A and B are shown apart, each in its own frame.
Chain A
Amino acid sequence: MILILLRKSAMLLLSAVILLLLTFWFHVRSNDLGDQDLFLRFLIYLNRILRLDFGFSAQSSRPVSGEFLEYGAATAELCLAAMIPSLAAGFFLGCFAALHKDRWLDSAITNSSIMFSSIPVFWIAQIFIALLAVRVDWIPSNGRISLLYSTEQITGFILVDTLLRDGFGDSFLNALTHFILPVLSLSILPTTEMIRIVRNSLYSVMQQNYIKAAFSRGWSSWYIIYRHGLRNAMPSILAQCGSVLFLTFTSVIIVENVYNWPGVGTWIIEAIRSGDVNVVNAYLVLVGMLFVVLNISLEFAADLSIIYLNHPGRGRSTPS
């Protein structure tokens, strides 16, 4: 256990160093620091990064880290709202598909998830706008909340803010309707990915003899999946969960741009278009770091689950 922790922290350190080198390369190239001592510059850069000082944004001339927090809250809210239902839905649909392997339910779930995973998220987002927001004017498709309501920030999460300020009133409902389209278009890809992961890892477990033996005792399918199937499939599912997170984080940039969501995605694209180097640098460091930490902690969780569930082979309880 300690060995795994050490190994993972070494990996974390290594990834962080590579990330910093990459962003430093970016820093050097974009700021044209040609003939200065690179090592010295790197130390200065490192010092600034560790103090979370990324300079000022060229567009708004505000500190970049403060802006990042503000936009990050909007993005995090959107990601959470999309990811929680899609993880749950993908999980259950994947279980269904693995349980009904090679029958119509499985092929319906699998084939439709292949179809949906092939649709670019920017395209489906615009089709949603065209059908639900333009043709029938049901749902707003722009921004987080209507301009009629005041947007003073308390936590940064707009649903929480409106609830705190006005209770369960018009502004909360308005914010909620603004959520529908972005969440809908953002949740498609993670759902399909989750279905694929759960189905594949659970299915290879469900073929084992101990599952058949459990079925021969006449137990219910869901009990068997919960008791034996998931227990054995969990490390493999956890190890692959990272791709769901990355998919969400990549497509949230696009979704924010389509729906004018004031989050990190629109912020960074604006910055790239106007050549705002400090913002891009901060984005690279912070989001890259987030990815590295998430990825490695997921791998750590997968390894832990191997130990905790006593999988044979790795990390067995027999002391050596």
Chain B
Amino acid sequence: MSEEKDTSRGQGFIQVLHSNWMAWYAMWFLVAYFLLVAGSMAFIDLNPYDQQTMDFFRPPRISFSFSQGLSKFILGTDDLGRDVYARLIYGARNTFLYALAAAVISSLAGGLVGFLSALYSSRLLNIIRILVSSVRSYTPVILAFAIITVLGPSLKNAAVAIAVSLIPRFTLICHEITTSEMKKEYIRAVMLDGAGTLAMFRLSLFPNIRDVLIIQFTKHFSMAILDLTALGFLGLSAEAQEPELGSMIAENMDMLYTGNYWIIAIPGVAIISFVIAINILSDGIRNALHRENL
């Protein structure tokens, strides 16, 4: 039993990805995305706040000449004359970083409660777990309403709201998978060999549930992105000038009726391609591992 179970340990994350070409390309897409955002911020002089008073609402145009280099506004300007490319890059950084932070915080906190309460079945920990899981009925948006009305809209508050509302999900998953895994023979064998709880967790349990956790984390990340952009769209996350992908779409909603769809299409494509890549990645990992029931 233990032999059979522990085969997943030798299999690296990269090999798992390599066996599924869609997930493999999705990973490279994410890397390229990261490089594009980081490179643009490092090497190109971008200003997402500056308003070109004479030059607003210019459509995207890419032209290149050796004397002047790349044309100035490759994705055009919005209705206030701000560089859409600059806003896109800074918006992507803001959105994805805050979403990542929310996902990381919620996974860490949720994982801590879930694992501890499953490993050490003490009464206090169980009470904490039940308290945490009783908050699972709140969606991020509703929690954000409360937090933002009191503290005022900002990206940080929105991220906190999302993180808090994602904690119960992760707690539940960690608790369930740990308890079901603890019943298996190989854990019992390790415990009989004299391993302490922590050693057992680190050496046997965690390597076996690591893949599930990775998949859940990517899922939470994509959920956090969608929720954060939704809050931004509702005007509840970023402050007025702060670039954010969701609020970029909201700012230019009226432009729909003038027939200039590109200004909405650009940030939308930026969000969708990122989230699709993440979802394909997590689905690819899951299929490669044949863990169906997640």
Residues of A near any B CB (own CB < 8 A): 11, 14-15, 18-19, 22-23, 26, 29-30, 110, 114-115, 117-123, 126-127, 129-130, 134-135, 200-201, 203-204, 207, 236, 246, 249-251, 253-254, 257-258, 268-269, 272-273, 275, 277, 280, 283-284, 287-288, 291-292, 294-296
CB contact between A295 and one of B137, B222, B226 (< 8 Å): that residue: B137
B21 on the interface (CB 8 Å rule)?
Answer: no
* Nearest-Cβ distance from residue A126 to partner chain B, whole angstroms: 6
Query: What are 14 A-B interface contacts by the 8 Å CB criterion?
Result: A14-B134, A26-B146, A114-B280, A115-B276, A119-B275, A120-B246, A123-B272, A200-B294, A201-B293, A250-B141, A250-B227, A254-B230, A269-B234, A272-B145
- Indicate if the CB atoms of A291 and B249 lie closer than 8 Å: no
For A258, the chain B residues whose CB sits under 8 A away are: 253
| In the bound complex, CA of A296 to CA of B137 (Å) | 9
B12 on the interface (CB 8 Å rule)?
Answer: no
- Indicate if the CB atoms of A288 and B138 lie closer than 8 Å: yes
For A29, the chain B residues whose CB sits under 8 A away are: 150
Known: A114-B276, A122-B230. A272 touches B148 (CB 8 A): yes
Which 9 pairs from chain A and chain B are nearest by CB? Answer: A118-B275, A123-B268, A118-B276, A291-B137, A204-B293, A15-B134, A122-B233, A295-B137, A292-B137
Known: A26-B149, A272-B149, A280-B146. A11 touches B134 (CB 8 A): yes
Considering the complex, give the chain B residue whose CB is closest to the CB of A249: B139
Considering the complex, give the chain A residue whose CB is closest to the CB of B293: A204
- Indicate if the CB atoms of A114 and B234 lie closer than 8 Å: no
Residues of B near any A CB (own CB < 8 A): 130-131, 134-142, 145-146, 148-150, 222, 226-227, 229-230, 233-236, 246, 249-250, 253, 256-257, 259, 261, 264-265, 268, 271-272, 275-276, 278-280, 283, 292-294
| In the bound complex, CA of A277 to CA of B150 (Å) | 9
CB contact between A18 and one of B135, B142, B271 (< 8 Å): that residue: B135
- Indicate if the CB atoms of A280 and B142 lie closer than 8 Å: no
Considering the complex, give the chain A residue whose CB is closest to the CB of B268: A123
- Indicate if the CB atoms of A269 and B279 lie closer than 8 Å: no
Q: How many residue pairs at the A-B interface have CB separations less than 8 Å? A: 131
| In the bound complex, CA of A248 to CA of B146 (Å) | 20
- Indicate if the CB atoms of B249 and A14 lie closer than 8 Å: no
Q: Is the interface of B mostly helix, strand, loop or mixed?
A: helix
| In the bound complex, CA of A26 to CA of B276 (Å) | 36
For B250, the chain A residues whose CB sits under 8 A away are: 122
| In the bound complex, CA of A11 to CA of B137 (Å) | 11
For B276, the chain A residues whose CB sits under 8 A away are: 114-115, 118
For B279, the chain A residues whose CB sits under 8 A away are: 114, 117-118
For B264, the chain A residues whose CB sits under 8 A away are: 123, 126-127, 130
For B222, the chain A residues whose CB sits under 8 A away are: 118
For A257, the chain B residues whose CB sits under 8 A away are: 233-234
For B261, the chain A residues whose CB sits under 8 A away are: 127, 130
Known: A11-B134, A126-B264, A272-B148. A250 touches B139 (CB 8 A): yes
For B249, the chain A residues whose CB sits under 8 A away are: 122-123, 126
For B146, the chain A residues whose CB sits under 8 A away are: 22-23, 26, 280, 284
For B236, the chain A residues whose CB sits under 8 A away are: 272
For B271, the chain A residues whose CB sits under 8 A away are: 120, 123
Most A C-beta atoms less than 10 A away, residue of B137, B268, B271: B137
10 additional A-B residue pairs with CB within 8 Å, beyond A249-B139, A284-B145: A14-B131, A120-B229, A123-B264, A123-B272, A126-B249, A126-B268, A200-B292, A246-B139, A254-B234, A292-B137
| In the bound complex, CA of A284 to CA of B259 (Å) | 38
| In the bound complex, CA of A200 to CA of B291 (Å) | 10
* Nearest-Cβ distance from residue B287 to partner chain A, whole angstroms: 9
- Indicate if the CB atoms of A280 and B149 lie closer than 8 Å: yes
For A287, the chain B residues whose CB sits under 8 A away are: 142
For A121, the chain B residues whose CB sits under 8 A away are: 230
Considering the complex, give the chain A residue whose CB is closest to the CB of B273: A118
| In the bound complex, CA of A117 to CA of B271 (Å) | 12
| In the bound complex, CA of A288 to CA of B276 (Å) | 30
Considering the complex, give the chain A residue whose CB is closest to the CB of B276: A118
| In the bound complex, CA of A124 to CA of B292 (Å) | 29
